[in-house]
Structure 1
Amino acid sequence: MDDISNRASQSKVFTHVITVRWADCDPAKIAYTGRLPYFALEAIDEWWLVHTGYDWFRGNVERNVGTPFVHLSMDFRSPVTPRHPLVCEVRLLKLGESSIRFSVRGLQDGVLCFEGEFVEVFVEAEAHRKIPAPDDMRAKLEALVVD
């Protein structure tokens, strides 16, 4: 875990830095539209790892707890390019009985490039059946909800 991730684990705003590569870009020399949700999901996956000790893979395989997405929406504000690091800010907006809602903002060189909301539901991974948020996870997550 890098220094930024360590500091973010103690804050309600988690910051994940992504290096945008040439291969992420289209002929217009900006990131492919489909890469932007990917970058946001990468940041959320890292958020899970830092705050619970489980990324999506480990949660599904080691705990039998999945968190598939049931909703996502994004607004694009400025192009993402390989010129600057992409700083993704993840905030936990709401922790429901069996769902969790995040916001993600992507910035480059201080300019807002995209923002969106992402909703996951807790499921028993093998049965793909909705479950309440596990108590041990809930205890860690409740303190992270942005007021």
Structure 2
Amino acid sequence: MTQSYEYVLSDAPFVVRRTVRWGDCDPAGVVYTGRFPDFLLGALALFKDHIAGGSGESLGQPYGVGLPCRGMTFDFAGTLWPNDIVDLECYVGEIRTRSFDFHCEGRRPGGEPVFNARFSPICVHAHVRESTDIPAPLRAMLARHARAVTTR
């Protein structure tokens, strides 16, 4: 039986469980730093589809906007090895006029922190490629998945 290396563990809170593969690691067996954005983006793709109601469309597509990356940050607290499991809890943080934050907290199943990440998209018109305000219906969808973020 083949098991997926990434799947939704729960909807509330929204958590993606990922198993580290050997190919994610360097010869010493530690996950490459450059693989963590893949972990983040994979979990956020599932989260964005959840927010959009499982439509399979891009989160901004129904509103005529794209959501390219404005910024991405990571704060590492631990390492991962082949076959380790990491649970990635995703939620919406601050919602600004034209941009907002997705947060992802990576923890081992026992709760030990591995990393915290923030991905900040900016709202742009799909055809004009200029920034624009977040459309009200999209803002409302994001607000339903938001939670206050504490400064560490």
* Structure-2 change in CA distance of 1:81 and 1:89 (3 Å): same
Equivalent position of 1:82 in the other structure: 82
Deviations 1:77-107 (A, max 9, x none): 1111223222111121111121111221112
Equivalent position of 2:93 in the other structure: 93
Distance apart, 1:57 and its partner CA: 6.6
Q: Which runs of 5+ in 1 are unaligned?
A: none
Within a 5 Å distance, the mapping from 1:12-27 to structure 2 comes to 13-27=13-27
Equivalent position of 2:3 in the other structure: none
Once the two structures are overlaid, the 10-residue window that deviates more, 50-59 or 104-113, is 50-59
Letter in 1 for 2:17: V
* Structure-2 change in CA distance of 1:19 and 1:55 (3 Å): farther
* Structure-2 change in CA distance of 1:105 and 1:30 (3 Å): same
Letter in 1 for 2:34: G
Equivalent position of 1:137 in the other structure: 138
Once the two structures are overlaid, the 10-residue window that deviates more, 129-138 or 15-24, is 129-138
Deviations 1:42-76 (A, max 9, x none): 11121110011478973476654211111111111
Normalised by the length of structure 1, the TM-score is 0.81
Aligned residues: CA RMSD: 2.4
User: Does the 8 Å CA contact 1:52/1:137 hold for their aligned counterparts?
Assistant: no
Counterpart CA distance in 1 for 2:38 and 2:27 is 19
Within a 5 Å distance, the mapping from 1:1-147 to structure 2 comes to 4=9, 7-8=10-11, 11=12, 13-53=13-53, 58-59=58-59, 64-110=64-110, 111-147=112-148
User: Does the 8 Å CA contact 2:60/2:138 hold for their aligned counterparts?
Assistant: no
Normalised by the length of structure 2, the TM-score is 0.79
Counterpart CA distance in 1 for 2:66 and 2:57 is 9
Distance apart, 1:121 and its partner CA: 0.7
Distance apart, 1:126 and its partner CA: 2.9
Letter in 2 for 1:113: V
Percent of aligned pairs sharing the same letter: 27
Q: Which has the higher helix share?
A: 1
Counterpart CA distance in 2 for 1:98 and 1:70 is 10
